[in-house]
């Protein structure tokens, strides 16, 4: 994993870009790990499967408060992004627009 981080750093235009650390989730293989990546990075490499599908997450399934409802896509994904143009909520994993 250390090699991955260093390699990623070399691809940045400047070495002064701020980094952040936190809990990361791989959208491809559902691996969770304590990660570190440049702040601007929207996706970064998963240490488990090697795909550039890592995203920051503050919620993991076993930390969701009991009794709360969590929306989940039909594909099993539960990370979404909001399209800025039409405000559509789209699944990060399968790309399907969510309707309810």
Instruction: Considering only the stretches 8-16, 38-46, 59-67, 79-87, report the one whose residues sit in contact with Zn ion under the rule CB under 5 A.
Output: 38-46
Distance from C-alpha of 26 to C-alpha of 93, rounded to nearest angstrom: 10
Asked if residue 73 binds Zn ion (CB under 5 A), the reply is: yes
* Structural Rg of the chain based on CA atoms: 15
Q: Report the alpha-carbon angle 46-73-90, nearest 5.
A: 80
Q: Which one of residues 25, 26, 41, 55 is an interface residue with Zn ion (CB under 5 A)?
A: 26
Q: Does 91 bind Zn ion (CB under 5 A)?
A: yes
With CB under 5 A as the contact rule, the residue among 38, 57, 93, 98 that binds Zn ion is 93
């Amino acid at each position: 994993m250390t090699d991955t981080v260093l390699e990623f750093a070399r691809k940045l235009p400047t070495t002064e870009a701020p980094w952040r650390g936190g809990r990361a989730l791989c959208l491809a293989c559902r691996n969770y790990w304590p990660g570190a990546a440049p702040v601007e990075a929207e996706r970064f490499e998963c240490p488990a499967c090697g795909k550039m599908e890592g995203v920051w997450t503050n919620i993991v399934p076993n930390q969701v408060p009991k009794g709360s409802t969590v929306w989940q896509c039909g594909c099993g994904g539960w990370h979404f992004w909001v399209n800025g143009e039409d405000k559509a909520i789209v699944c990060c994993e399968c790309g399907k627009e969510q309707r309810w």
